[in-house]
Amino acid sequence: MKKLLRLLLGVLIVLAIGLTAAPAAQAATRPYCGIYWGSLSKTGAPPSHAWSDGAAIYNVRTGRHTCYDRLVIDVSGAVGTYHVGYVAHIYTQGQGSTVPTRGGAALQVNVMNSADNVNTGAPTYVFANGGELTNVKGYRTFRQVVWGGTYEGYSTVGIGVRARLPFRVFILSGPGSSNRLVVDVAHQW
């Protein structure tokens, strides 16, 4: 009888541990903030007329959100073809020089939009410091945003990130005829 009671007690203990551990195991498999973005490179192609419309970059800005940090590139018309991906180093357009960035990973944003007026050659995006396009002090993911230059219709912005984290890229329209290339980088996996 004592053996049966011990066996029954042992089974109850195992069941109790299993039932209390199950919710913790389920929580561990849920993605952070419901994010399923991944960290592989992302490329997008615009409508065929986008490159020829003379749309130029006129601003780069950042924002903090609950689950991610955001980079926005404002374009005066259609956003051109873009490629965003983690790289060993950010490089300048044309020269190919390394642009130093802080953080454990570097995310390079290339977009087929110039930062110069296609008719006059005058800059459309003017900044005080190419090594600090925006102030990201206090951000959970971003460590630095740098300018990689513009050359032959292509522009590069680099993001120094805390670590290689999931990100997404998309285009928002407006205001007016402007559009925005948006890069969100999650705070964690």
pLDDT of residue 93: 92
pLDDT of residue 166: 98
User: Do 95 and 10 sit in the same domain of this protein?
Assistant: no
How many structural domains are present in the chain?
2
- Nearest-CA neighbor of 139 among 118, 165, 119? 165
Q: For residue 163, give both structure tokens.
A: 């670590």
pLDDT of residue 44: 94
CA torsion angle 68 27 103 157 (round to 10)? -30
User: Do 61 and 113 sit in the same domain of this protein?
Assistant: yes
pTM above 0.85, yes or no: no
pLDDT of residue 63: 98
User: Do 109 and 144 sit in the same domain of this protein?
Assistant: yes
Reduced to 3 states, what is the DSSP secondary structure of residue 133?
Answer: coil
User: Do 173 and 130 sit in the same domain of this protein?
Assistant: yes
User: Do 26 and 49 sit in the same domain of this protein?
Assistant: no
Buried b / exposed e along 42-78 (16+ C-beta atoms within 10 A): beeebeeebbebebbbbbbebeeeeebbbbbbbbbbb
User: Do 79 and 17 sit in the same domain of this protein?
Assistant: no
pLDDT of residue 54: 83
User: Do 21 and 49 sit in the same domain of this protein?
Assistant: no
Q: For residue 124, give both structure tokens.
A: 């459309």
- Averages of pLDDT over runs of 10 residues in the chain (189 residues) are 57 54 54 94 75 84 98 96 97 94 98 93 96 97 98 95 98 94 97
User: Do 25 and 47 sit in the same domain of this protein?
Assistant: no
Cα→Cα distances 109→21, 71, 120, 149, Å:
42, 10, 25, 11
pLDDT of residue 20: 55
Q: Which residue range is the domain that position 85 belongs to?
A: 42-186
pLDDT of residue 45: 83
Angle at 65 between CA 60 and CA 69, to 5 degrees: 50
118 domain residue, yes or no: yes
User: Do 148 and 88 sit in the same domain of this protein?
Assistant: yes
User: Do 16 and 51 sit in the same domain of this protein?
Assistant: no
**Contact status, residue 167 vs residue 183, Cβ threshold 8 Å:** yes
For residue 129, the domain's CATH number is 2.60.40.3500
